[in-house]
Structure 1
């Protein structure tokens, strides 16, 4: 599999109602049917031997899953040593975006954080039925868009992606993590439910767990970050006035209670951080050394706290930095 090294302009969009800027032609992607449309992994996946990634920098790859050609980007930090096992973070874009959106370091800072901490970050691309791969979404359970409506096997895609990454890199299986925003923040919850054996921890921003069934095979640490005034995925549940998906989103309190229970934690959290405009609280006594933590900003709407305001999106609160909190939560394990 040959990496594609085209220069591209990174557009941005947060999801659920945010404005998406069209990508230049060379940057446009589409998860194209391999022969015909498929909505589940009934077609055998292509799993060829792929070349190892040895050079730092940005690489782009494809793989076959469920009859679709799926795309992902990989950023390898300058400090990477091929013989040394590396932590890997999967970063999921919001609905209406794509992998280039999430890799835009001006807005999310995940590449800079990977360079600082020395881990690999991979940016999978969601499913789009539109030319150019616009409005890509994830099938995260009850949300969202075409990926959900067509029953796209995104969990299977991630399984195949991880298998391919393990051929390309010396992945430390005890340090594989998932994060994302909005619909892309909901996807890590589904992975924790169905692929707990593959992930040590997840972190979600502005997207709650909307899975219909969740029976993780082992404890998975959870960090959730949400603005109290989110107008799309409402803090107290339901779809806000600016949401394009009329889904009855799970409330943040219910979300946290669910994962505290799944991980066997004490039911009442304790305040562990309080700064002007934000606080964090954590649940104690979780099984297997897992952690469950919630960080809340008073303002910021449907956004990535500490990030630069995207065109068509909300200005995130600067009381805390989602990028810093997530990096610390993951890499201290």
Structure 2
């Protein structure tokens, strides 16, 4: 029985999973079968989470590794595990932790250590991790090929992207932690006055001179929700900004193990949508 349990645990772990110490912090990396030259996804956990927790709950590594990506899960700081995204969250924000520099260091270390592709770096994150991912992309547009945020909005009132960065943003309209329309949520754990999804959308659209807007409805599941996909494409038909609005959706990473309890939809999975968007920006 013990052998069976150990076998199942080992089977569930990506073949190339490692934890790397970087000064007084660390990151987890799940490598594909061929690491040399692989594109990189940084996946940032939410407030109160951790690198291993987000790897387990999101399940991102398996499909991403299969498509040739190396997936890095950096570790936040403090007992609650948070990121300093400027206006949120927790001890990381209060102590003014320089998470921009930390993510710079993680990327540089992983690229050099595993011979990854520095020209294909992508970011994604959940909640506080989404805020940090969007903030990093806005301030480091030359380092990021594309960014995908889920259920967390950067401080769009004070921050503007310094260049063009393709954005995917997934958010539920019934999110009570980080409200879709902005402001402080009923279950928010901070006093942050969050930016709206519309404000983040406008901020990432601003560097582009002209994009064509289209919309479509995704509604395959009988869960009382539907997803509105809004795309802004350039003249070559490549979507530069995509907003996936989950009508009636809560504070969830769609498709994750915890999503059904958090108001997640079955119409989409975040992993599939994130990888689809990143594939559009090679």
Fold match by TM threshold 0.5? yes
SS of residue paired to 1:192? helix
Q: How does 1:101-250 map to 2 (within 5 A)?
A: 101-104=53-56, 107-128=57-78, 134-210=79-155, 213-250=158-195
Q: What's the CA shift for 1:197?
A: 1.3
How far apart, in 2, do the equivalents of 1:290 and 1:174 lie? 19
Distance 1:81 1:101, change over 3 A: closer
- Quote the Cα distance in structure 2 between the aligned partners of 1:63 and 1:141: 23
Structure 2 runs not aligned, ≥5 long: 1-8, 221-225
Aligned-partner Cα distance in 1 for 2:34–2:183: 43
Q: Deviations over 1:99-156 (max 9, x none)?
A: 111110xx3121111222121000000011xxxxx31100001111100111000000
1:95 corresponds to which residue?
Answer: 47
Higher relative contact order (CA 8 A, sep 6+): 1
Write the deviation string for residues 233-267 of structure 1: whole angstroms up to 9, x where unpaired.
1011111111111111001112111211133343x
CA contact (8 A) 2:125 2:133 kept: yes
Instruction: Give the Å deviation of 1:215.
Output: 4.9
| Distance in 1 separating the partners of 2:270 and 2:231 | 16
Deviations 1:62-104 (Å, cap 9, x if unpaired)?
112xxxx111000012x2153xx11000000001111111110
Matched, 1:275 2:188: no
**C-alpha separation in 1, matches of 2:25 and 2:178:** 27
- Following the alignment from structure 2 to structure 1, what is the Cα–Cα distance between the partners of residues 280 and 64? 14
Tell me the SS of whatever aligns to 1:159: helix
Separation of aligned partners in 2, 1:140 and 1:114: 25
TM-align CA RMSD? 2.2
1:249-288 to structure 2, matched below 5 A, reads: 249-266=194-211, 269-276=213-220, 277-285=226-234
- Whether the 8 Å contact between 1:263 and 1:286 is mirrored in structure 2 is no
Partner of 1:41: none
Contact 1:56–1:80 (CA under 8 A) maintained in structure 2: no
1:60 matched to 2:19? The reply is yes
2:152 & 2:170 partners in 1: Cα distance? Answer: 8
Aligned length: 263
The structure where helix makes up a greater share of residues is 2
CA contact (8 A) 1:309 1:315 kept: no
CA shift for structure 1 position 213? 4.3
In the superposition, relative to structure 1, how do residues 146 and 318 fare at CA in structure 2: closer, same or farther (>3 Å)?
same
Partner of 1:74: 29
For normalisation by structure 1, the TM-score amounts to 0.74
Change (3 A) 1:99 1:256: same
For the Cα contact (< 8 Å) 2:35–2:70, is it kept in 1?
A: no
Partners of 2:277 and 2:209 in 1: CA distance: 19
Distance 2:265 2:66 in 1: 23
What secondary structure, in the 3-state scheme, does the structure 2 residue paired with 1:112 have?
Answer: helix
